[in-house]
Amino acid sequence: MTPLAGYLLVAALVFAIGLAGALTRRNAILVLIGIELMLNAANLNLIAFWRYSPHPEVLTGMMFAVFSIAVAAAEAAVGLGLVIALYRHAHTTDLDEINRMKG
């Protein structure tokens, strides 16, 4: 197995774990944690492809990962703000109980 394949497999495993967390947990915060894990797995793919590319000095892959980290930070802030607003409105973060679109 080449080193790149090893990193890609780890990233695939972390992505699958994050997806499983986002799809199976009841708590909205844990769903957000699963989404963060998926974003991180994508970043690992970008960095690994950048490292083993023929021209790593062009920096494209690394820049993509750095911008992706910044966007993920914005997503986490808005997502957790939404969870807090939802908790104040419905008094729960259990996604199985939040099943109405209209308050």
Partner 1 sequence: MNIVFWILAVITVLSGLAAVTLKNTVHCALAVTGAFAGLALLFLQLDAQFAGFAQILVYIGAVAILVVFAILLTRGSDTPAQGVFSRTWFAGLLIAAAVFTVLGWAVMNSAAALPHENAVPTVTVQQIGQALMGRYVLPLEIVALLLTAAMLGAVIVAMHEKGEPK
Q: Does 35 bind partner 1 (CB under 8 A)?
A: no
What residues numbered 43-72 form the site for partner 1, per CB under 8 A?
A: 43-44, 47-48, 50-54, 56-57, 59, 62-63, 65-67, 69-72
Q: Does 83 bind partner 1 (CB under 8 A)?
A: yes
Structure tokens at 22: 């986002």
Q: Does 15 bind partner 1 (CB under 8 A)?
A: yes
- Cβ proximity to partner 1: between 57 and 100 the closer is 57
Distances (CA, A) of 79 to 5, 23, 35, 45, 48: 33, 16, 10, 24, 28
